[in-house]
Chains A and B, each alone.
Chain A
Amino acid sequence: MKAPLSFVLNGSNVTAEADGSTRLLDLLRVSLNHTGTKGGCGEGECGACTVLVDGLAVNSCLYPALEVEGKHVTTIEGLRTIDNKLSIVQQAFVDTSGIQCGFCTPGMIMTAKALLDNNPDPTDEEIREVLLGNLCRCTGYVQIVESIKTAASRLKENR
């Protein structure tokens, strides 16, 4: 039985329908056509589907769609500025080669954003700790960690 649902997606009010078994991932990708968020495993193991719900990084493949009622959801599409520029975190991934095939990238960037929102000056260990839930098969993580450090220092300069 589908129920109406309203929440804030990337700063805009949206309404949609979902039932108890609808995953947030499918609500975003299928119902709302936000395909920037990727589905990688469906079991919360790979982190490709990471989005922010009220600022917290969650696996949208495990998150029931109905639970975003009234909440703020941020996806990779929400990070770009209105003049079609990448956010600082996104740009750092581009400039520091944290992106190869790119399938894990939206999830990585959302995880990185959640980290840097809460901890503007993370150590390497803290970065690697938080990345535990985001798998990448291409990069060996070296340039991803460097990207997040680049983002942290650029954000600091911007403050």
Chain B
Amino acid sequence: MKDFRHIGKDIPRPEAPDKAAGKAVYIHDLVRPGMLFGKIKFSDHAHARILRIDTSKAEKLPGVKAVITAYNTPELRIGFVRDNFALKKDKVRQFRDEVAAVAAIDPHTAAEAVGLIKVEYEPIPGVFSPEEAMEPGAPLVHETDPRGRPMKDNRHPLHYHHESGDVKAGEKAAKFVAQGEFSTQLVQQCCMGTAGCIAEFDMNNNLTMWAKTQIPFLAQRDFNQALSAMGLQNKNTRVIVPTLGGGFGTGLDTHAYEYIAILLAFRTGKPVKIVYTRDEEFANLSPRQSSRTKIIQGCDKNGKLTFRHAEVLQDNGAYTSWGATYPTVMMMPATSLYRVSNVYFDAKLVYTNNTYCQAMRGYGNPEFTWALENNMDQLAEKAEIDPFEFRMINCNQPGETTPMGLKVSTCGLKECMESVAGKLNWKKSRSQKKQRGIGMASLIHVGGGGRIYRSDGSGLILKLDDFGNVNTYCGGVEMGQGLHAVLILEIAEALGVQPEKVFINPTDTGTCPWDVGTHASRGAFMAGNTAIMAAKKLRDQIFEHAEQLFPELAAKNLKKYQKKHPDYAPPDFDIKQAAKRDRFDLVDGFVFLKDAPSEPWTRIELGALLRAIHFREQGQMLATEVFYDPPNELPDFEKGYGNMSATYAYGAQGVEVEVDTETGEVKILRMVAAHDVGRVLNPPALKGQIYGGLAQGVGYALYEQLQSERGRITNPNFRDYKIPTAHEMDFPIELDLIETNDQFGPFGAKGIAEPGLVPTAPAIANAIYNAVGVRIRDLPITPEKILAALEKLKSTKD
């Protein structure tokens, strides 16, 4: 294995000291001169016609600078199917619909003004579940599609399908069959820093947006479209990303509040900030979708899977976010987690009057893996095979192409499962005393980018200065995951400089090269590949100039050295002769000739060489820009085929639980997380990603749920919406980071941002089943559900 100088080293995050000092500037802290504060008036109904909006009182309130509605502003359509609007006209389709907005001199005045806006509605019956929405004659959420054609029903136009092999034949070949219906709940991303933005126009009507986004360049495109719709033709948006208080998928769309800030900023000619309060965030920021999955699998007498049949129904809510494309990712475990050659997968979405949903970490994968990994345990039980053995029989292998056409380059799934089983002392722990049990679940996820858009590319600019510093411009977004810490190591390693010499500039569409977005666990993978490309180009440039300049600098060095050490006799070596570009190396910020004797004067500091390149006739500054688009394919999602990622991350998690059969409480005693990470780039950042994902997985499994009562979110606060605290997470977590050294990964690394939470919930469910013999099929697994299931189990036994 190659020895790395920097990869795999613990270096603190570059931004951590400022965060520790309270100096990092989040959108909440950012102030622009003359800035106004925007506030939105949300709907009072889930489904209603807007009869009249009276803004007169709000307009008269001192300190109010603008009050806008859809009736006095240009129509701004948002979302990739264009079924949403910044401000709503004629009717509202969900409680959080934006009907008016205010800009005022301070947040208090803005809130007071919003309270003075009167809206008259005529309520319409709503639909609050996919089943209700699909009933004949159900009220239509959208009477027309975005092109104005009448809608017949509430079925969403997006549809995802995959069929491979011969499912009928697979059913016939099956000796054992298990089926189940599994559902997942609405959950909130719960970024500690709530959503917000500042919009500001200059006097040329170009826009600057400080946005809490993970997609600055797609956001630029969206905002530029909005400028056009506002009559500002050929105007541009510059998107600047401040320090983000978490992302978790909330930044993959542009949001109505951002367009409203733009409208208010244009109306007032002043910068306008909108930041959500926590209750606004819970009620009005799109959560993770709920889903319902029917799954049937069969295996032969040896436990080999013969078929898999899965149907997913998603409640899309009232409008369409990128998050509606969850099935593009669900299709991956559906077709490719464990070897199965006959697969049917179908996913449908339905419009309802519930809150519309968006991306969250895992993006459909936790939802589907919840169903699949529960069902794997069900089928193992039917076949009377130990669930770990059953998974091993069907384990994926390196080099295989899955039914979806995913090309598996490296695969550490076997090692991950063996690690989990070993650490949990599997055989013995499966048959413990009553109420204690263990379970496991595995995962596949994109680890080499994820092409769900026509480009999966990322750019990088490296600009060298006179001091040997590497000024870095990366379009990827640091949101707490550790991208910058990893990127510094990747650049230091690939270029041959010390990490302290690498500086990362703020993400800004005006200065950074294009990047599709920081999603799909692609940040470190993409950044690393661009770093390697850029470093190669820069090294070539440096070594080309060194042919001429290095001998001169070395001669000067030698002179200086000999002044200090008059007795020194240099070795007999012709540097001028040796100075050919392919014979140079750059390590830790020093340029030298690989085969020259190592003397104090034969190593030239990079900054000295760069100054020599700069300060001469026809001098030059060195910089390079690269763009990397990974070797993957945009799948045909209606056929369900295509190698969407250059490589895939695997993992397995195991858990030991104790279930209190009196109260239904589940206590996690310990967890093991074994992940095929390709290569560990920065250990503490990687561990943080897995620990953090796992904690979100625990919340998803056991208690998190956004309660929605006929479309209204009824627990919009941390009192009633519980996320794990340090107390809930007090069990030991053992990590095993398996390095499979992937050929496509930078230094062998795979993306690892999302996997941590993907298998957590089914691992816990399987452990609960092992402990007390009840299988809870709808998340979260609350004590009430366990008690009810235990009661039912008891009555069937009696």
Contacts and interface: CB of A to CB of B under 8 A. Distances in A.
A102 B480 contact: yes
Query: Which interface class (under 10, 10 to 19, 20 to 34, 35 or more) fits B?
Result: 35 or more
A38 interface: yes
B691 A76 contact: no
A136 interface: yes
A94 B23 CA distance: 14
A53 B730 CA distance: 29
Contacts of B687: 97, 142-143
B727 A129 contact: yes
Contacts of B20: 76, 86, 90-91, 93-94, 99, 102, 105, 109
Contacts of B723: 135, 137
Contact of B717 (A41, A48, A99, A141): A41
Given A76-B21, A144-B726, A46 B16 contact: no
Interface in A37-54: 37-43, 45-46, 48
A6 interface: no
Interface in A58-100: 75-77, 79-80, 86, 90-91, 93-97, 99-100
A132 B687 CA distance: 22
Contact of B21 (A36, A41, A141, A145): A36
B725 A131 contact: yes
B19 A105 contact: yes
B26 A38 contact: yes
Interface string A27-42: 0010000111111111
Interface in A115-146: 124-125, 127-129, 131-132, 134-145
Nearest to A97: B684
Interface stretch (B58-66, B188-196, B424-432, B526-534): B188-196
B495 interface: no
A135 B729 CA distance: 12
Contact of A137 (B23, B246, B482, B685): B246
Query: Which interface class (under 10, 10 to 19, 20 to 34, 35 or more) fits A?
Result: 35 or more
Contacts of A38: 26, 28, 192-193, 245
B124 interface: no
Contact of B192 (A29, A101, A143): A101
Contact of A86 (B17, B191, B245, B691): B17
Contacts of A29: 29
A79 to B, nearest CB: 8
Contact of B733 (A40, A136, A140, A144): A140
Contact of A45 (B194, B688, B718): B718
16 contacts: A39-B28, A76-B22, A93-B16, A94-B13, A95-B12, A96-B684, A101-B246, A102-B19, A102-B20, A103-B192, A128-B729, A137-B248, A140-B688, A141-B695, A142-B733, A145-B726
Given A93-B16, A99-B13, A137-B190, 7 more contacts: A29-B29, A99-B16, A100-B481, A104-B192, A128-B727, A135-B192, A140-B692
Interface of A: 29, 34-43, 45-46, 48, 75-77, 79-80, 86, 90-91, 93-97, 99-106, 109, 124-125, 127-129, 131-132, 134-145
* A-B interface, 9 closest residue pairs, ranked by CB to CB distance from nearest: A36-B22, A101-B480, A102-B19, A103-B245, A140-B691, A97-B684, A140-B695, A76-B22, A45-B718
Interface of B: 12-13, 15-17, 19-26, 28-29, 189-194, 243-248, 277-279, 479-482, 684-685, 687-688, 691-696, 717-719, 723-727, 729-730, 733
